[in-house]
Chains A and B, each alone.
Chain A
């Protein structure tokens, strides 16, 4: 078969990526039916959050001008944190129900597995789709953020790939988990006991220096804190090269571990 060059050659690896792109095309076809509704909520969500929390709650916070915010308004402090948290939410919604639905209810994953696509291609195709969703939701968030005057530095542009990487660090391991499920209840547990605590305590709404000293190390290992910290420093223009590398390295490591786990999990579920 000329279309199947030997494993290890460059052409093979490019060919393997094209398999993932075929699965991405499936998701894009699927998305064509629902994108209008999803764009609506993608714009509305940052407007509501930045309005209510940034401006509303912010007016109370700013009246006391707390030193821990580093001399910026609450809106300016909050917005980049919410950008990262928003990426986590997008990653969660894209990597739970759609994955379980494809493998259990619609069985479209099984349909794809009967074609030249391998389980990992099916996985990577959906990750690419999730990355596209992360790119659009984060871009819209950044535009709303700029409209609120909540960005201090032009470096905020670089927060887009950081938000996407933050999302990927969640999406890859969550997909590995989702594809092995037989019911959807575990998603509610994951959401309540992992996502919500991360959302609240990873430095999005207040600096983690406000947390008791013994809790802080916990915050440092959560991927969301790294995303929040880097997005915030980029938005404020206070990023250091060393700090950025540390955050990016940690998030990339989690994403890579998630991809490795997903490769195995997809194979286990689809090749029985």
Chain B
């Protein structure tokens, strides 16, 4: 990102709950128009960071400025320009789809006719126009999520905050949400999202930070992170239970950049997966199954933390 406008600036940002440091001194700068992600497992401090950015959680330490303002002193003015898709849907399930947007637009002080116009447009955008007068209660998780996204756009926000936007959704619903977010991104809306799905981070984020235990472990674009922290290809091997330990011992000396022994598989990081597989066979090992794939952010995370993302 060349010298573009910085919308969110954090230095040494910290959040403490009792004695526990949920966020332990993180630095990041977020630029206008980019899609920025916080990737990490549950409890990494992503949501706490997001709540501080959303001005509903005063930082315990460090610097944070949003749109050039102080989140503690200028909360209402900042929030007027943010859109928030929280982890819980926080919809009023007893009201209709349209009423939920009306109430929310009113919170931003928008006139009724403006809300009505935007409601029509937003419900079309999230493909809920035909459900406008339905109560929210019976809507599926995927439809509710889309409604929350529509709601978060009612004030035409400059920055959209999405806390785990597709957690708990089935694959179709996830793709529907991604599709909407991708469109918003192409319209120039600045997106900030947290996720523990590496495919979500790879699909949506121009740039991301990998978070672990309240700290930032690495930062960059998905391809640059993979190039820096992982090999181009990964060879995944499965052995039967009896021979797994023996295989792991032997593979310690295999011609690979790195070997990871997981509970169910062994991963060999190599420039060429096929060459690595040939070398494994030369060692006299015959895996039950083998798979050559490209490196992903999951591999980056494993390398940085020694753990997997979705455990």
- Which residues in A have some Cβ–Cβ distance to B below 8 Å? 1, 3-4, 18-19, 22-23, 25-26, 29-30, 33, 106-108, 110-118, 270-272
Contacts and interface: CB of A to CB of B under 8 A. Distances in A.
B240 interface: no
B74 A112 contact: no
10 contacts: A18-B109, A23-B107, A26-B106, A108-B92, A110-B56, A111-B91, A111-B92, A116-B76, A116-B80, A272-B56
Contact of B107 (A4, A110, A117, A270): A117
Nearest to A16: B76
Contacts of B80: 1, 3-4, 115-116
A1 B78 CA distance: 9
A263 to B, nearest CB: 15
Top 10 closest pairs, chain A to chain B, by CB? A115-B107, A111-B90, A116-B76, A114-B84, A107-B90, A4-B77, A1-B77, A116-B80, A26-B103, A110-B90
Contact of A114 (B54, B89, B94, B102): B54
A110 B74 contact: no
B57 A33 contact: no
Contacts of B84: 114
Contacts of A110: 56, 86, 88, 90
A4 to B, nearest CB: 4
Contact of B58 (A106, A115, A116, A271): A271
Nearest to A27: B103
B77 A113 contact: no
Contacts of B74: 4
B94 A33 contact: yes
A71 B108 CA distance: 57
Interface in B170-217: none
B92 A3 contact: no
A270 B86 CA distance: 14
Given A3-B109, A110-B88, A29 B94 contact: no
B285 interface: no
Given A114-B90, A116-B107, 4 more contacts: A1-B77, A29-B95, A114-B54, A272-B57
A25 B76 contact: no
Given A25-B103, A30-B92, A271-B58, A116 B86 contact: no
Contacts of A106: 90-94
Contacts of B109: 3, 18, 22, 116
A116 B90 contact: no
Contacts of B17: 272
A29 B102 contact: yes
Between B51, B80, B86, B107, the greatest number of chain A beta carbons within 10 A of the residue's beta carbon is seen for B107
B241 to A, nearest CB: 45
A18 B109 CA distance: 9
Contacts of A19: 76
A108 B86 CA distance: 12
A117 B56 contact: no
A106 to B, nearest CB: 6
Contacts of B99: 29
B125 interface: no
Nearest to B54: A114
Contacts of A113: 56
B229 interface: no
A22 B107 CA distance: 6
B15 to A, nearest CB: 10
B232 interface: no
B56 A270 contact: yes
Contacts of B94: 30, 33, 106
A30 B100 CA distance: 10
Contacts of A111: 86, 90-92, 104
B143 to A, nearest CB: 17
Nearest to A107: B90
Contacts of A4: 74, 76-77, 80
A1 B90 CA distance: 27
